[in-house]
Structure 1
Amino acid sequence: MKKYVYIVTDRNRNSLHVGTSTDLIKTVKFYRDMPSLFFDTSNHATRLVYFEELNTEQAALDRFQLISTYTRTQKERLIRQVNPDWIDLTIGLDFEHVVYRKLETIPSHKLIRDTLIVRKTA
């Protein structure tokens, strides 16, 4: 089973939170659904800026413990090596989920009409 070590931050990059997970998409969704559970209301850590996929739980735990001891500067350097613009990596991981969320915001009568039009042109 794959394990992930990740770093999430808020939109202003004030806080960096290191964690481990077996399901990265669910974990990020949890951070978004329960923003004030771990952080105060001003620092909603909802932006996934770094992650590593590891093969074993022990390897993930070791890497988590190592990254947790890093200073803020070391964590920022680690993030910038793979994500220099600090973009939210969730979109790349969960593209279908993002599309589904956008479709939920469209009124159902419009969604049905657009779906029928797409089927006619396909």
Structure 2
Amino acid sequence: MFKLTGTHNYFVYIVTNRNRSVLYIGVTNDLKRRLYEHKFDSMNEKSHFTGKYNIFYLIYWEKFEYIEHAIDRETEIKGWVRKQKDKLISEFNPEWNFLNEEI
């Protein structure tokens, strides 16, 4: 996927539900696996926030080499109001297309 020899990859990502009404911001070192986990929970136990609200559609992501930078960015975005998050997503993905198949 995005892994290069000798590097570390961490991702800050935003997923949403089908109606794009709820956002979830997370951080992971394996974006494909994490998206699968969100979808699996949505289709089965619904034991987490993303599962309960069927939030597994990827609409935004950023890549980082260092986990500290990814965590700092996740914290920053989580502190924003919805309008700021919407602007960030729209600049990256103007149509708010679901990007799961591109990962």
**Which has the larger Rg?**
1
In 2, the alpha carbon distance for the partners of 1:2 and 1:59 equals: 11
Counterpart selection for 1:51 from 58, 61, 85: 61
1:89-110 deviation digits (Å, cap 9, x = unpaired): 11111xxxxxxxxxxxxxxxxx
* Residue 26 (structure 2) pairs with residue 19 (structure 1): yes
Higher relative contact order (CA 8 A, sep 6+): 2
Aligned residues: 93
Matches within 5 A, 1:34-113: 34-35=41-42, 36-39=46-49, 43-93=53-103
* Distance in 2 separating the partners of 1:40 and 1:3: 20
- Aligned residue for 2:32, secondary structure, equals helix
Q: CA RMSD in A?
A: 1.5
Determine what percentage of the aligned residue pairs are the same residue: 31
The runs of 5 or more residues in structure 2 that have no matched partner are: 1-7
Q: Structure 1 segments of 4 or more deviating over 6 A?
A: none
Q: Which residue identity lines up with residue 28 of structure 1 in the other structure?
A: L
